[in-house]
Amino acid sequence: MKYHTPILCAESVDGLNISPDGVYVDVTLGGGGHSRAILDRLGEDGRLIALDRDAEALANAPDDARMIAQHGDFRYLRNFLAHHGYRQVDGILADLGVSSHHFDDAARGFSFRFADAPLDMRMNVAAKLTAKEVVNKYSENRLKEIFAQYGELTDAQRIARQIVTARQNTSVETAGQLVEAIKQCIPRGAENKYLAKVFQALRIEVNGELECLMTLLTQSVELLREGGRLVVIAYHSLEDRLVKNFFKNGMFEGVAQKDVYGNVDVPFKALNNRAIVPTDAEIEANSRARSAKMRMGMKN
């Protein structure tokens, strides 16, 4: 099984503006595609640190003396770098979202395509919180908030109510049982798009994805050298909005304060005003690239 096809690979590695003797971080090792592309541009003295919170991904790490592969969550990037003797690096790459491998592995429970799949959705299988616990233990109001905020679903209240009603009779433990529980909410003709939002919302909650991203962006200010690059590939509007706002205003919400001369002091210079997206050819070759948006920033 192919683990994951790297998306926007050449564009993202170009965005890092790699120096042959620089130090770079791939915080989402996945199938190792981006890491291999980075190593191809590094010289003998260059270094790459790669992380992934899914221990299975470490098997995809290239066998290269210039690389350190680490099992871990990128929200703790500062600690991992310090452990390996680095205070600052020249570039950080984050390819967010879920690997194709995860969507295609029924046992991981990321996809509604497998009716018998357990409601798991943990990127790190050692983590405690699962989608099953969210669905069966969270209050109706909290479920509504998750589907409204993370799935951007306008009928979040109705979805939450349907789930709470269903679990009163029996525990909702599989993807199929969840789909059955909310079937009255699913619009005819748009089933896949709707269910993708429902499952996305649960996955974001289980893995704390937005909190992790905000922590990474905040830490990158101190972890990147002046002129260092941060490249982020996002797959839904919630992630992309956080990255866009951070590059533009140095914060996640609101507008940056200007000084008396009208200047804004932000930690990054955005290198692309509009998100870079895959070509039609890449989307045709890999349909999962369709939603990808890439943004790049340079440390001021």
Same fold for the domain at 9-100+209-299 and the one at 107-207? Answer: no
Q: What is 107-207's CATH number?
A: 1.10.150.170
Please tell me the pTM assigned to this model.
0.91
How many Å apart are CA 245 and CA 199, to the nearest integer? 25
Q: What is the mean pLDDT of the chain?
A: 92
Which pLDDT score is estimated for 107? 74
Which pLDDT score is estimated for 251? 86
Indicate the domain borders of the chain: 9-100+209-299, 107-207
How many Å apart are CA 179 and CA 115, to the nearest integer? 8
Per-residue pLDDT of 231-285, as tens digits, reads 999 999 999 999 999 999 888 876 666 666 667 788 999 999 899 999 999 999 9
Per-residue pLDDT of 132-187, as tens digits, reads 999 999 999 999 999 999 999 999 999 999 999 999 999 999 999 999 999 999 99
Which residue reads 């920033």 in tokens?
Answer: 297
Per-residue pLDDT of 21-65, as tens digits, reads 999 999 999 999 999 999 999 999 999 999 999 998 999 999 999
In CATH terms, the fold of domain 9-100+209-299 is: Rossmann fold (3.40.50)
Per-residue pLDDT of 108-134, as tens digits, reads 877 888 888 999 999 998 999 999 999
